Structure 1
Amino acid sequence: MANHRLEALIVRTDTPLIKAIELMTRAAEKILLAVDDDGRFIGVMTDYDIRYAILDKLSLNDPIEKMISTNPVVGRVGMTNAEIIELIERTRCFQIPIVDGDGHLVDIRFIREFMHHLVCPSEVVAVVMAGGLGARLRPLTEHTPKPLLRIGGEPILFIMLDRLLSDGFTKIYLTLCYKSQMIMDTIQAVPRYQDKVHFIIEKEPLGTAGSLSLLPVKPSAPFLVINADLLTDVPLGEMRRFHGVEDNVITMATKRETYVMPYGVAEIADGRVLSLREKPEFTLFVNAGAYILSPQVLDLIGGGVRIDMPDVVNMLLENEMRVGSFPIHEDWIDIGTPEQYDQARSKRVGPAFAEASAQWA
């Protein structure tokens, strides 16, 4: 098979999930293509399939056979560009495998090849929460706000903003409170942020959701809310599209973590021991500090009222509204303590930027 970009995406059905994650991360195409020994196309494994497998708590050593979508959208050899564009627009598929009459995989076409022919939303909004005191990082934050602490020679906030712009976000709001003028002066001195980054000033701290009531215009489409102190390779544009596919009101990024209890755990009822587990492991999904919100969520947030995102999520759940999880397997560091800051400085999370198709929802 002479098509090198195709070769990088080929997998067999017995490939372990952990290997599939490695291959997809390395290829940065959000898709793998399963073929049999004769090169006949079997199906695809997408970024979504991996995340669903994580949600289902499948083992990383499980083969991907049952995770593959065996009836994907495909194109045929000989299709014109116009026909492929029509297929992309009709199906909302960003990658189109091309097969011949015998079912052999011969090529793959990506949406980025046709972006100049496609109509994308005029604004893709992100709100970056950058108003915190950074109290746990003192004394580092006594004179420098946490978003301006440096990693690899540049402020944490610059890393976040550059990532968002590369992921297709076209309008970014920074919510500020502590040392807001210092942050504004720093951002306004950088030409690449001109006309793209806008400021929302909190007169007093409003929590991780309260400042959303200060948005000058209600977004017309789902938008991102993210903490400014995250370093991550999570494809945030892809998370926005996932939100639309799942028809959620809020989608929150979650990280699967395993904790080992250092003691034996007894289950007790009526003073009797029912079972004893020695140093059991618990798998939990933790909040990763990034959310996609549908615009109607803003109707629940009162102006000038302090409220945090967990409060909003619980409010939606009480009203039986759809809250979804976007499970992440990518690098993720929450810079909240001196130890986490040191970790981030020693292991700078490398950018694995989402493709331009992240502008679609």
Structure 2
Amino acid sequence: MTARQAVVLAAGRGTRLGTLAADTPKPLLEIGGRPLLLRTLESLATAGIERAVIVVGHLRERILETLAASPVPGLTVQFVTQERLEGTARAVALARPHLAPGPFLATWGDIFVEPQNYPRLLAAVPPGGGAILVNPVDDPWAGAAVYVDEALRVTRIVEKPPAGTSATNWNNAGPAVLDEWVWPRVDRLEPSPRGEYELPRALAAAVDEGIELRAVPVEGPWFDIGTPESLAAARRYAESARRGNVAP
């Protein structure tokens, strides 16, 4: 059963972006002349997603106004508000009452990847399992280290490992296809040392308990639009792609 619904996390404040996100929600920052959130929603619709639940918070009215003015053809959207930023697991759980039973694609409003990654992710899901997008890094200390076997089955996930301790170069890139099995693991989560309820910890528990997750390496670049430097890099890439200097 292929997922036709999605959850998009778009509630963050973007504090590391400073004045760039002072009056613009981070997901509405433009890359290649288009707000990132619109690019993501258009990519989801092209991949066969028919309905998206968008978790909003900071400057929520700006996001609602933008999507009302620029609806994505073929995609129905609904909004839920995260009043307190308690982590990605709690954010995804807010969408649960609005999802139909079955699989769903979860993604972040501040992650930039090329559109083809979403259908690749959807196609990789094994029966009864899930799939996560991964990107190669020198050291995944800033995200979640993802360990895989020779068939790209996930064997272990370590959220925020100490620098220099990982024996894998795969980082959790964010987008994932999940199913009903995620909810009991989310419900059992304890807060992390940062005081947040983090979705990768629920996925790690699922893997430890026998749920099959497939890792899907990112095709093309991966940008986490969390700093002025990463935003600038994404914009340079998009401009190069527009000019035909890189593969679109």
Change (3 A) 1:199 1:153: same
Note if contact 1:187-1:193 (Cα within 8 Å) is conserved in structure 2.
no
Moved more, 183-192 or 134-143: 183-192
Identity of aligned residues (%): 27
Structure 1 counterpart of 2:207 = 317
TM-score, with structure 1 as normaliser? 0.52
Match for residue 158 of structure 1? Answer: 38
For residues 252 and 339 of structure 1, do their structure 2 counterparts lie closer, same or farther at Cα, with a shift above 3 Å needed? Answer: same
Aligned equivalent of 1:293: 178
Aligned residues: 209
Partner of 1:144: 24
Query: Aligned partners of 1:201, 1:313: CA distance in 2, in Å?
Result: 23
CA contact (8 A) 1:125 1:172 kept: yes
Matched with 1:30 is none
Partners of 1:229 and 1:336 within 8 A in 2? yes
Query: Alpha-carbon deviation of 1:193?
Result: 5.7
Please list the CA deviations of residues 326-360 of structure 1 after superposition, one character each: whole Å capped at 9, or x if unmatched.
1223222221111111111111185999xxxxxxx
Higher RCO (C-alpha under 8 Å, 6+ residues apart): 2
The answer as to whether partners of 2:120 and 2:216 remain within 8 angstroms in 1 is no
What is residue 135 of structure 2 aligned with on the other side? 255
The 4+ residue runs of structure 1 with deviation greater than 6 A are none
> What displacement does 1:247 show?
3.2
Q: Please, what is the CA RMSD of the aligned residues?
A: 2.9
Distance in 2, matches of 1:289 and 1:228, equals 10
Judged with a 3 Å threshold, the aligned counterparts in structure 2 of structure 1 residues 193 and 201 are, in CA distance, closer, same or farther, namely farther
User: 2:10–2:27: 8 Å Cα contact kept in structure 1?
Assistant: yes
Secondary structure of the structure 1 residue equivalent to 2:7 = strand
* 1:100-111 matched pairs, under 5 angstroms: none
- Give the number of the structure whose alpha-carbon radius of gyration is greater: 1
1:168 counterpart = 2:33: no
Residue aligning to 2:233: 343
**Cα offset, 1:151, TM superposition:** 1.8
Does structure 2 conserve the Cα–Cα contact (< 8 Å) formed by 1:212 and 1:298?
no
Stretch of structure 1 that moved more, 150-159 or 249-258: 249-258
TM-score (norm 2): 0.74
**C-alpha distance in structure 1 between counterparts of 2:112 and 2:75, whole Å:** 24
**8 A contact 2:186–2:199 mirrored in 1:** no
After superposition, the C-alpha distances for 1:172-208 in whole angstroms (9 at most, x for unaligned) are: 1111111112211111122436861111111211311
Q: Does 1:212 align with 2:96?
A: no
Contact kept? 1:210, 1:307, Cα under 8 Å: yes
**Does residue 227 of the first structure (1) align with residue 117 of the second (2)?**
no
